[in-house]
């Protein structure tokens, strides 16, 4: 729920004008100025100029269709609460000549003109529908929902295009339920969603991470030279399809499928990976800081002893988005392209029980260990974004166990920091200091450091100073595992 005093201050300090703008345009007379109004709001929480311009054009198209038509007497006939889905389905099918259209095509049409369709629906039934101005920014809506305890519908899976289409209706119902709980009008809800809440959470700084951590991995993505999201600007920030395992700071290798069939640049992931049901590719991350390189063509890649042995290269780069590169492969590719982008640190592996990267430790040591002490993947969060100060700095712990997010308050039972290898006391001291800062910020009862060699656990009782428990990974059997589970197990 929202603090009503804060909400009252917002309305008195200009918010009422935003409410009136929504009401005038969506309940009385849709004007050309509405496109500028929406664009101005969008700039507060959207980093992509293409997205803002695209929605601006959609609002202009809608205006040109209606030409400031008065909607007072042109509402939809009353829609029964149970019949919303049928109504929405009929509305969408009205834009297609083919009655037997595949659901994936209908969904694609919907998301291509999501702002237009959702705004037109709202023009006629503002107490049922919601104009959707979070295209390619569902992550912002999710942060708002977490901050203000809004219960969003469960996300459909990627292949469920029908579920993803009708998710819009489910979302409208959930947001109007939040409106009723607060005693608002629909237009107050819209002002909350697109003006008050984005400013409250920090706008673009709520998800774009400027102080990036060191990369833990590298991933291929694919594009073409005429892609509207692609840019050579050093300041470019854009969304891209990528692996759900992508973390903030990871290296993103851009392969241009056309017209050159070559690796062209290297980017950084500057957000946490997220799912967006209205993003066709479903899983994405925001990428930034492109570094151009001498193009490495597919012929050279195939003939190279290291790169040519990669399965994705043997498949002619088909399905490359989100395919991970080993550190040795990534670093070698940069050498081929004479690129000065950041390299990945890793160590040579001398046996099957050694891991060359921190990510391998996370996947092969920490995750199986968490499962053994009672946690499944829903019980912890990797890379929880913790803002410090006035939206200008963030801490990003590796594993947060049993996190609780209530408004701006975030807490957890325990925090784990992953390290590839710790064999020196100074390395342990540094890792301990790092995880201590995370634990204190989250009010965690326990903090732990885990490397491929050993696990160390510290308690809040003595400000995470002395080792409460430590054990070599190879010795975590029977009694030792039981003791670890007794301390930090679920």
- In this prediction, residue 72 has a pLDDT band, given cuts at 50, 70 and 90, of low
pLDDT over 60 (residue 389): no
Model confidence pLDDT, tens digit, residues 410-458:
899 999 999 999 999 999 999 999 999 999 999 999 999 999 999 999 9
Domain ranges in the chain are 4-203, 218-336, 358-488
Q: For 218-336, CATH number?
A: 3.10.590.10
Greater pLDDT, 155 or 386? 155
Which pLDDT does position 370 carry in this prediction? Answer: 95
Instruction: Write the secondary structure of the chain as one string of H (helix), E (strand) and C (coil).
Output: CCCHHHHHHHHHHHHHHHHHHHHHHHHHECCCHHHHHHHHHHCCCCCCHHHHHHHHHHHHHHHHHHCCCECCCCCCCCCCHHHHHHHHHHHHHCCCCCCCCCHHHHHHHHHHCHHHHHHHHHHHCCCCCCCCCCCCCHHHHHHHHHHHCCCCCCCCCCCCHHHHHHHHHHHHHHHHHHHHHHCCCHHHHHHHHHHHHHHHHCHHHHCCCCCCCCCCCEEEEEEECCCCCCCCCCCCEEEEECCCCCCCCCEEEEEEEECCCEEEEEEEECCCCEECCCCCCCEEEEEEEEEEEEEEEHHHHHHCCCHHHCHHHHCCCCCCCCCEECHHHHHHHHHHCCCCCCCCCCCCCCCCCCCCCHHHHHHHHHHHHHHHCCCCHHHEEECCCEEECCCCEEECCCEEECCEEECCEEECCEEEEECCCCCCHHHHHHHHHHHHHHHHHHCCCEEEEECCCEEEEEEHHHCCCCEEEEEEHHHCCCHHHHHHHHHHCC
pLDDT over 70 (residue 73): no
Containing 296, the helix (H) or strand (E) segment is: strand 283-297
Model confidence pLDDT, tens digit, residues 195-206:
999 999 999 998
457 vs 181, 196, 452, 477, CA distance in Å?
Answer: 43, 41, 15, 17
Of 264-278, 290-304, 383-397, 437-451, the one with minimum mean pLDDT is: 383-397
Which pLDDT does position 278 carry in this prediction? Answer: 97
The residue among 444, 451, 458, 459 whose CA lies nearest residue 476 is 451
Q: Which two tokens stand for residue 340?
A: 């000065």
Which pLDDT does position 250 carry in this prediction? Answer: 93
Which pLDDT does position 408 carry in this prediction? Answer: 64
Q: Which residues contact 85 (CB under 8 A, 6 or more apart)?
A: 166, 169
Measured between alpha carbons, how far is 254 from 238 in angstroms, rounded to an integer?
Answer: 13
Q: Give the pLDDT mean for 400-407.
A: 84
**218-336 and 358-488, same CATH topology:** no
Q: Which two tokens stand for residue 469?
A: 């428990």
- In this prediction, residue 77 has a pLDDT band, given cuts at 50, 70 and 90, of low
Q: Which residue has the tokens 């069939």?
A: 261
Q: Give the pLDDT mean for 24-41.
A: 94
pLDDT over 50 (residue 153): yes
Of 137-146, 191-200, 387-396, 422-431, the one with minimum mean pLDDT is: 387-396
- β-bridge mates for residue 401, sequence order: 380, 414
Q: Which residue has the tokens 């829609």?
A: 79
Which pLDDT does position 176 carry in this prediction? Answer: 96
Q: Which residue has the tokens 């990036």?
A: 212
Which pLDDT does position 226 carry in this prediction? Answer: 82
Q: Which residue has the tokens 């988005």?
A: 321
Measured between alpha carbons, how far is 41 from 58 in angstroms, rounded to an integer?
Answer: 15
Q: For 358-488, CATH number?
A: 3.90.1570.30
Model confidence pLDDT, tens digit, residues 99-110:
678 999 999 999
For the chain, percent of residues with pLDDT exceeding 70:
93
Model confidence pLDDT, tens digit, residues 190-235:
999 999 999 999 999 989 998 888 888 899 999 888 888 888 788 8
pLDDT over 80 (residue 78): no
Give the global pTM.
0.82
For the chain, percent of residues with pLDDT exceeding 90:
69
Which pLDDT does position 302 carry in this prediction? Answer: 95
Q: Give the pLDDT mean for 375-387.
A: 87
pLDDT over 50 (residue 351): no
- In this prediction, residue 388 has a pLDDT band, given cuts at 50, 70 and 90, of low
The residue among 251, 229, 22 whose CA lies nearest residue 135 is 229
């Amino acid at each position: 729920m929202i603090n009503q005093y804060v909400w009252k201050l917002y309305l008195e300090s200009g918010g009422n004008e935003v409410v009136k703008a929504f009401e005038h345009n969506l309940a009385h007379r849709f004007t050309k100025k509405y496109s500028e109004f929406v664009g101005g709001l969008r700039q507060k929480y959207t980093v992509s100029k293409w997205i803002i311009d695209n929605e601006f054009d959609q609002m202009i198209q809608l205006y040109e269709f209606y030409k400031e038509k008065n909607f007072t007497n042109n509402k939809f006939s009353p829609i029964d609460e149970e019949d919303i889905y049928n109504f929405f389905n009929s509305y969408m099918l009205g834009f297609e000549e083919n009655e037997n259209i595949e659901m994936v095509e209908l969904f694609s049409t919907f998301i291509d003109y999501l702002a237009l369709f959702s705004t037109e629906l709202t023009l006629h039934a503002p107490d049922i529908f919601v104009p959707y101005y979070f295209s390619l920014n569902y992550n912002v809506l999710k942060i708002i929902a977490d901050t203000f305890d809004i219960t969003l519908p469960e996300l459909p899976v990627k292949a469920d295009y029908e579920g993803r289409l009708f998710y819009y209706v489910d979302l409208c119902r959930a947001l109007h339920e939040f409106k009723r709980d607060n005693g608002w009008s629909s237009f107050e809800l819209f002002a909350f969603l697109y003006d008050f809440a984005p400013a409250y959470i920090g706008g673009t700084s709520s998800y774009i991470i400027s102080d990036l951590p060191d990369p833990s991995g590298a991933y291929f993505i694919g594009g073409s030279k005429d892609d509207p999201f692609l840019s050579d600007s050093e300041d470019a920030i854009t969304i891209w399809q990528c692996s759900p395992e992508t973390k903030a700071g990871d290296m993103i290798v851009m392969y241009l499928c056309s017209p050159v069939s070559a690796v062209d640049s290297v980017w950084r992931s500057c957000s946490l990976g997220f799912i967006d049901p209205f993003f066709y590719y479903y899983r994405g991350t925001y990428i930034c800081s492109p570094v151009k390189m001498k193009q490495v063509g597919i012929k050279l890649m195939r003939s190279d002893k290291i790169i040519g042995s990669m399965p994705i290269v043997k498949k002619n780069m088909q399905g490359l988005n989100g395919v991970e590169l080993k550190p040795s492969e990534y670093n070698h590719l940069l050498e081929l392209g004479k690129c000065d982008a950041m390299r990945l640190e890793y160590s040579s592996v001398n046996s099957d029980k050694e891991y060359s990267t921190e990510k391998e430790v996370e996947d092969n040591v920490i995750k199986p260990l968490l499962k053994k002490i009672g946690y499944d993947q829903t019980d912890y969060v990797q890379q929880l974004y913790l803002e410090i100060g006035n939206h200008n700095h963030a801490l990003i712990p590796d594993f947060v166990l049993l996190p609780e997010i209530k408004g701006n308050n975030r807490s957890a039972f325990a925090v784990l920091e992953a390290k590839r290898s710790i064999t020196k006391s100074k390395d342990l001291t540094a890792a301990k200091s790092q995880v201590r800062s995370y634990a204190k910020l989250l009010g965690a009862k326990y903090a732990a450091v885990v490397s491929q060699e050993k696990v160390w656990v510290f308690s809040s009782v003595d400000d995470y100073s002395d080792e409460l428990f430590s054990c070599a990974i190879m010795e975590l059997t029977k009694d030792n595992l039981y003791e670890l589970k007794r301390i930090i197990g679920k």
